[in-house]
Amino acid sequence: MSIPPLPDNAISLRQLTKTYKGEKGRPGRRALDAVDLDVPRGAFFGLLGPNGAGKSTLINILAGLVRKTAGEARIWDRDIVREERAARCAIGIVPQELNLDPFFTPRELLEMQAGLYGVPPRERRTEEILDAVGLGDKADAYARTLSGGMRRRLLVAKAMVHSPPVLILDEPTAGVDIELRRQLWDHVRELNRQGTTILLTTHYLEEAEELCDRIAIINHGRVVACDSTPALLRRFDNKTMTLTLKQPLDALPAPLAALGAELREGGSQIHLAYRAASQPVDQILEAVRQSGLSIHDLSTEEADLEDIFLQVTRADNAATNGQGSAAA
């Protein structure tokens, strides 16, 4: 038997649409609207979006918990409907909720999960997986005696028992303290290094910026940005400069006002947003020189994912509202 070639995309969505039925004659709710999305094999992929954007719906469709209305979804090149079992075996899902049976031990939970996926006893890696998530010494403790962080790691272990090539983490660090978040990320990064494709949803944007090599932003059920993380950050190319003055000013000098600067901190700071590609720093410094200011300190800051996320979703909200009023 020949081994099938590895797919280029671990997850591939085409025109994926979900409309939840409205109750008692109310109109339905479109949670996903013709989503096209590719998660390349081997990626550490971030799926971001404000509350209600459709992230859980997307993940629940992949998990087989929600039925799509239209379009196509493939996991590891298997259609989630026509090749449901193969598609399901290709993913492990770490859910949002800490839904563990408190009366089982980590060892028992992993063994049961392996049984559910039909992993034969001789191929099970229970000890190895528990060690990998730092729960080797808790293998026989009741789940209810584990801390929140340990339970979270146990859920990651549970998702890995059938060695899926794709791991989906849905808000895995909500409410987890910084130390445990670090541990969890070290482990997930290691899985990614070893070849597991990771799809992550998180509200912690600095976490996504640090971990993900590719990011998609969804809003109102549509993909509004999708790019490699550096390209996404570059695309926006927004910087801010803060000048701290030796003497506070009453009014902004004209050359700096012309660049859109603002006076802050009772006139002791000048704040300026600029695009490095179209407005070189020497132009700004020339305006400072012309203004005859004495500068105590100067700092610049790059736009981060948080800024970009807000820009992209606000622009999309404005466009959507505009369409709404045009149609009305």
For ligand ATP, the binding residues (CB under 6 A) are 20, 29, 31, 49, 51-57
**Residue among 47 and 241 whose Cβ is closer to ligand ATP:** 47
Minimum Å gap between C-beta 69 and ligand ATP is 12
Closest approach, Cβ 227 to ligand ATP, in A, equals: 20
Residue number with CB closer to ligand ATP (19 or 269): 19
Min. distance of Cβ 22 from ligand ATP in angstroms? Answer: 8
Please identify, using beta-carbon distances, which residue of 31 and 308 lies nearer to ligand ATP: 31
Smaller CB separation from ligand ATP, 29 or 239:
29
CB of 214 closer than 8 Å to CB of 42: no
C-alpha 34/C-alpha 17 separation (Å) is 5
Question: d(Cα 321, Cα 20) in Å, to the nearest integer?
Answer: 22
How near is the Cβ of 20 to ligand ATP at its closest, in Å? 3
Would you say 33 or 304 has its CB closer to ligand ATP? 33
Rounded to the nearest whole angstrom, what is the least distance from the CB of residue 138 to ligand ATP in the complex? 30
What count of other Cβ atoms lies within 10 Å of the Cβ of residue 94? 22
| Shorter beta-carbon distance to ligand ATP: residue 56 or 126 | 56
Q: How far is the CB of 207 from ligand ATP (least distance, A)?
A: 15
DSSP state letters, 169-232 = EESTTTT--HHHHHHHHHHHHHHHHTT-EEEEE-S-HHHHHHH-SEEEEEETTEEEEEEEHHHH
Q: Which is nearer to ligand ATP, 10 or 59 (CB)?
A: 59
Phi and psi based region of residue 84 (left: phi greater than 0; alpha: psi -120 to 50; beta: remaining): alpha
Which C-beta is closer to ligand ATP: that of 29 or that of 107? 29
Identify the three-state secondary structure at position 18: strand
Element (H, E) at 236: helix 229-236
For residues 190 and 115, give the distance between their C-alpha atoms in angstroms, rounded to a whole number.
25
What does each C-alpha distance from 43 to 15, 74, 215, 219, 309 come to in angstroms?
21, 16, 10, 22, 20
Q: How far is the CB of 152 from ligand ATP (least distance, A)?
A: 17
The answer to whether 199 and 168 have CB atoms below 8 angstroms apart is: yes
Closest-approach residue to ligand ATP (CB): 56
Shortest distance in whole angstroms from residue 306 CB to ligand ATP: 16
Q: Which tokens is 175 given?
A: 């409410």
| Residue 109 neighbours by CB under 8 Å, 6+ apart | 100, 101, 143, 154, 158
